[in-house]
Amino acid sequence: LIQLQTFTKNNPQIPSLQLRVQNLRHEIELETSRVAGGDRSLAKKAAEYQRLALDREFADKQLGSALVSLEQARNDAQRKQLYLERIVQPSKPDMAMQPYRLRGILTTFVMGMIAWGVLAILLAGVREHKD
């Protein structure tokens, strides 16, 4: 049940298994109280201790399994890492080849002047036809 809950949380068997676990625990409690006495008896405490010891053993096994999985994942990650090796030391260029700053500035200025001229002619034509 714990494994199902851990690996597949939406498994349709989980509610029925939980109900079965509850029923079995209830039957165990009834039989224990019938045979050994009330809640304060030593047999009841021994049964609880055994249950806790069993839970601890299962938890230890799960922890061991998780640690093994973690170690395998780390090993896989180490294997899949990329390593870069420098063949030639990078260097700075002596003179910038690009971008062409002066050409860009002049091109922007000329295009702006052309756009201004076209707009000025259009506005003059609109004003002339307005009257």
Helix (H) or strand (E) segment spanning residue 115: helix 101-130
Residue that the structure tokens 């890492």 belong to: 81
Euclidean distance between CA atoms 67 and 61, whole angstroms: 10
Task: Look at residue 112 and tell me whether its pLDDT is greater than 90.
Answer: yes
Task: Look at residue 96 and tell me whether its pLDDT is greater than 80.
Answer: no
107 shares a domain with 73: no
C-alpha torsion angle, residues 64, 69, 74, 78 (rounded to 10):
130
What is the residue range of 56's domain? 2-80
What average pLDDT does the segment 46-73 reach? 93
68 falls within a domain: yes
**Cis check: omega of the bond before 99, within 30 degrees of 0:** yes
Band of the pLDDT at 40, cuts 50, 70, 90? low
76 shares a domain with 106: no
Band of the pLDDT at 14, cuts 50, 70, 90? confident
If one compares 103 and 98, the residue with the highest pLDDT of the two is 103
Task: Look at residue 39 and tell me whether its pLDDT is greater than 70.
Answer: no
30 falls within a domain: yes
How confident is the model over 22-34, as pLDDT tens digits?
A: 999 999 888 777 6
Task: Look at residue 35 and tell me whether its pLDDT is greater than 70.
Answer: no
